[in-house]
Amino acid sequence: MSTPYYAELLKRLETKVDRMIDQIGTKCPHFAGKDGTYDHLQSDWWTSGFWPGILWVMHDMTGKEAYKSAVWNKDEELEGWFVKPTVQLHHDVGFQFLSTAVIKHTITGDEDGLRRGIEAANFLASRFNLSGNFIRAWNADKHGWAIIDCMMNISLLFWASRVTEDPRYRHIAIRHAETTMQYGVREDGSVNHILSFNPDTGAFIEAFGGQGSAPDSSWSRGTAWALHGFANTYRHTGDIRFLHTAKRIAHFFLASLPDDHVPYWDFRLASFEHEPRDSSAAAIAASGLLEIADAVPAAEKHLYANGAHRMLQALTNHYATWDQPEHEAILIGGTGSKPGNFCVDGSLIYGDYYYVEAIAKLNGWKHRIY
C-alpha cells in the first residue's frame, strides 16, 4: 500500500530516471565506479535487461511516454543475439527478456514482445537437464552446473506456461526449484551459489563457493536471489513448500544483517573490517520480502514488510545519489564479485532495478514480472 513517503520517493525516482535517460543514452550499463559513469557492454551481457526494465516500470507507474519511447526497441535488439555469434546467452535470458519483451507485452499487448518472450522461454527450457532436474548454468564446459541465481530466471517459464497454456514450461520451472531447494538451500536458510551434478546421471557431486568467500560461506546477493526467487515460485504455483523455503531464507537474511540493514558482500567473513557492502543484495531482498509479506497471514506480514522497509530506507538515506546529479546510477555501494575483484564497491544496474521495483510495489504496481 502506498504511503506519502513512498509516493514522494517515486517522484524523486522520476526526476532521477529522467536525467539518466540523457546520461545513459544508448549504452548497455552494468557497473559504475567512483566516477559515477556507467560502462557500456554488448547487449548479450546478462544484465542488459535491467535498464530497460527500469524504464518500463517507470512508464507503467507514471504513464510518461518518454520512458516507453526510450525502451521500445530493446527486446528487438536482444532477439538479434539468437542468430549472432555469442557465448553470453545462457540461463540469464530470464533476466534479459522478462524486463524487456515480457513486460512490454504485459503492459501494451505487443505481439512481438509476446513472440520474443516465448522464444526466450524456449531457449531457457532447452537448457533443462532431464537426469538431474536442473537448468544448466553458463556455457563452455559447465555441463553439470546449476546456480542459485537461476531461481529468478524461472519466472520466464511460469509466464510462458500461462500465456501459451502449455504446462511443460511450468513443469521444468518446478523441477528446477525442487532441485535447488534440495541441494542449494541449507538447513539454516543460507544457500550455496554453485551446484555441480554429473550431467549424464544427474547425481549431485558438490557445491562451490562461487562468488561467496568459501564453499560454506554465505554470499549475500545469492541469498537475496534465493529469497526473491522462491517467493516468486510460490506466487506462480501456490505450492506451500516454496513459501516455507522463502521464509526460511528470509529469516537467515534478516538475522544476518548489520545494524544499518545493508549487508556486506558475504554474511560469513572472518572479519568485516574494510570489507565492501552490497547494496544490490539489499534491494533484491527487499523486493522479495514484499512478495513474502503479500503471501503470508496478516499476523506475519510485519516481519517481512518491516524488514523490507528498513533496507529500503537505509538505501534511500545512505546509498542513493539524490545529491549527485552527474551520477548515472541510483545506488552506490554495490559489489559484483569480490573473489574475482570484479565490479567492487560501485553501482550495479540490477541494484538500481530492484530498488525501483520495490518502490513501485509499495506504490501499488501490479505488473510483477518476476
Mean pLDDT taken over the chain: 97
Query: Of the listed 149, 266, 345, 352, which one is catalytic?
Result: 149
Strands (E), the chain: 31-32, 128-129, 134-135, 145-147, 194-197, 204-208, 347-348
Sorted by where each begins, the domain ranges of the chain are 4-361
Instruction: Average the pLDDT over 257-270 and give the result.
Output: 97
> Where residue 370 falls among pLDDT bands split at 50, 70, 90?
confident
Instruction: Read off the pLDDT of residues 112-140 as tens digits, 9 standing for 90 and up.
Output: 999 999 999 999 999 999 999 999 999 99
pLDDT at 209: 85
Rounded Cα gap, residues 72 and 56, in angstroms? 9
Instruction: Read off the pLDDT of residues 9-64 as tens digits, 9 standing for 90 and up.
Output: 999 999 999 999 999 999 999 999 999 999 999 999 999 999 999 999 999 999 99
* Share above pLDDT 90 across residues of the chain, in percent, rounded to a whole number: 98
pLDDT at 118: 98
Instruction: Read off the pLDDT of residues 333-347 as tens digits, 9 standing for 90 and up.
Output: 999 999 999 999 999
Q: Could you confirm whether 149 is annotated as catalytic?
A: yes
Query: Of the listed 92, 266, 345, 352, which one is catalytic?
Result: 92
* CATH 1.50.10.10 fits domain 4-361: yes
Indicate whether this model's pTM tops 0.95: yes
> Where residue 1 falls among pLDDT bands split at 50, 70, 90?
low
Helix and strand numbers, DSSP H then E, in the chain: 15, 7
